[in-house]
Structures are given as C-alpha cells and as structure tokens.
Amino acid sequence: MNSKLFTTQNIIKMAMMGALSVILMQFKFSLPMLFPGFLSVDFSDVAIVVGMMTIHPAAGFVIALLKNVLDVVLFGSSSAAIGQLANFVIAVAYITPLYFCLRKTRELKSVTIAIASGVAMMAVVGAFLNYFVMIPMYTQFMPLEAIIAMGNVIYSGITDTFTLVVFSIIPFNLFKGTLVATVSIIVVKSAYPLLNMLRSRGNENENLN
C-alpha cells in the first residue's frame, strides 16, 4: 500500500468514496421495534472502512470528513452542522483502532479485533455526545419528555436522559457499529479482487488472510 496519503490517485479514490458515503448516508432506516424513531441506521461508514482497507489507513478520516461536508453542502443541515460534526467525531472514534491496526497488519483476525474495539469506542463517544450535545439539541425541536417517551415505549426503564442513553443510545451504537463492520468485512472479502484494481500501480499486492 502506498505510504503517501495524498497522491493524485488516492485523492481521486477518496473523493469517490466520500461521494459514495454521502449517498449511502441518505438511505436511512429506523428500527422502531428496537430503538426510538430518532435513531436511524445507514451504511455510509461502510465506504469509510472499505476505503481504509483499499486506499490508505488514514483515508477513512478524509472520507468521513468529506461525507459530512458534502452532506451539509448538498442536503443542508437543520442543526447548524452540529449533527454532522457529531457524526464525524463518532466516525473518528469508530475507525481510529482500525487505523492503527492497518498501519501494521491487514490480517483479518487483527482487523476484526480493531473494528470490535472501534465499535466499543463508538458506543462510549456516542453516549457522551448524545448526553451532552445531541439530546439537548433535539430539545430545540421537541420537549425532552417527548424524546424520553419515545424510548419509554420500547423499554419502560427509560425515564430520563441518563437511562435513555444507557438503554437506547449505547445499544443502538453497538448494534449499528457491529452491523457496519460485518457488512464492511463481507464487502472487502467478496469484492477484494475488484477493489484491488483501484490501487495505484505501484502498490503492493496484499490479501486479507
């Protein structure tokens, strides 16, 4: 893998993955039987993880930034870009362990452990961001009681902001992170010959074990 991040070919590839990521970001869906309606799942982070595995370990940070900038520019923001900033911070938490792993090895077992660590970090960072930033921001559009009630319908133990975070936000981020990780690994494993063609001609030929 080319040690330089900002080569011409890598910039083109990261731009393509950023565009793909923001497109995937628009196809959101909720799981009302499991989580409150304001929590939605999308597969935009799959493009980030795949980019890290096929372009450069640090490419994920660039793709995550591009995704959220493009989302604001193309689709606007109802939260003065606070939601996109939070999305970027959570994505960084998610991919940081994978970044350090890919700098040393691309062995699938190590990658899986790194992604699992990223899921845990994503859950922790997401919990803090939701408690201190996102939920207070949501209260600008609906009463806090209504937000908590959305969680209480699913689990009666949710009675305040803290229990909402513990019993809804954290499980949701664990679920979403695991789902995205699983899809990402499947994509890379199944389409690796095609993805390998996206590398620059001077890159080493590497295979996931």
Predicted TM-score of the model (pTM): 0.85
Report the SS3 class of residue 104: coil
Long-range CB contacts (within 8 A, 24+) of 164-172: 164/36, 164/135, 165/127, 165/130, 165/131, 165/135, 166/127, 168/35, 168/36, 168/39, 169/39, 169/126, 169/127, 169/130, 169/131, 170/123, 170/126, 170/127, 171/35, 172/34, 172/35, 172/39
pLDDT classification of 200: cutoffs 50, 70, 90: very low
pLDDT classification of 174: cutoffs 50, 70, 90: very high
Q: Which residue ranges make up each domain of the chain?
A: 8-26+42-196
Distance CA 36, CA 196 (A): 39
Average pLDDT, stretch 108-124? Answer: 91
pLDDT classification of 106: cutoffs 50, 70, 90: confident
- Residue 206 and residue 106 in contact, taking contact as beta carbons nearer than 8 Å: yes
* Phi, psi torsion values for 192, nearest 5 degrees: -60, -40
Q: What is the mean pLDDT of the chain?
A: 87
Average pLDDT, stretch 115-139? Answer: 92
Average pLDDT, stretch 130-141? Answer: 88
- Residue 71 and residue 22 in contact, taking contact as beta carbons nearer than 8 Å: yes
Assigned CATH class of 8-26+42-196: mainly alpha
Which of the 8 DSSP states describes residue 58?
T
